[in-house]
């Protein structure tokens, strides 16, 4: 699963679902043992959980990069590699 970004110990990844996506556009956020699946429109946790501080950081980052996340989703679903997205600084 391609890594899109990494910041403050959080790793952001997105799966490829070529040939018939079965999910809404989303990405996965990993922090230590916690994993959350975050929808792209609206930006919200749709599965899993993160500690409060990390959840807020991921949501803020996703709001800033929503257009890039949607573009990466479309790239992946068409069989192309996603582009990296700047981390939260």
* pLDDT tens digits, one per residue of 24-77: 899 999 999 999 999 999 999 999 999 999 999 999 999 999 999 999 999 988
Report the length, in residues, of the chain.
89
Q: Taking CA 7 as the corner, what is the angle to CA 6 and CA 8, rounded to the nearest 5 degrees?
A: 140
Which pLDDT score, from 0 to 100, does residue 41 have?
92
Task: In whole angstroms, give the CA distance from residue 73 to residue 26.
Answer: 8
Which pLDDT score, from 0 to 100, does residue 42 have?
95
Instruction: Summarize the confidence of residues 76-81 as an average pLDDT.
Output: 88
Which pLDDT score, from 0 to 100, does residue 21 have?
56
pLDDT at 12 over 70: yes
pTM: 0.91
């Amino acid at each position: 699963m391609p890594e899109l970004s990494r910041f403050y110990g959080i790793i952001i990844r997105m799966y490829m679902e070529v040939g018939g996506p079965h999910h809404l556009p989303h990405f996965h956020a990993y922090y230590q043992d916690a994993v959350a699946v975050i929808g792209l429109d609206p930006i919200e946790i749709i599965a899993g959980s993160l500690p409060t501080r990390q959840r807020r950081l991921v949501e803020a980052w996703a709001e800033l990069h929503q257009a890039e996340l949607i573009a990466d989703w479309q790239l992946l679903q068409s069989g192309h590699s996603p582009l990296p997205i700047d981390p939260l600084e």
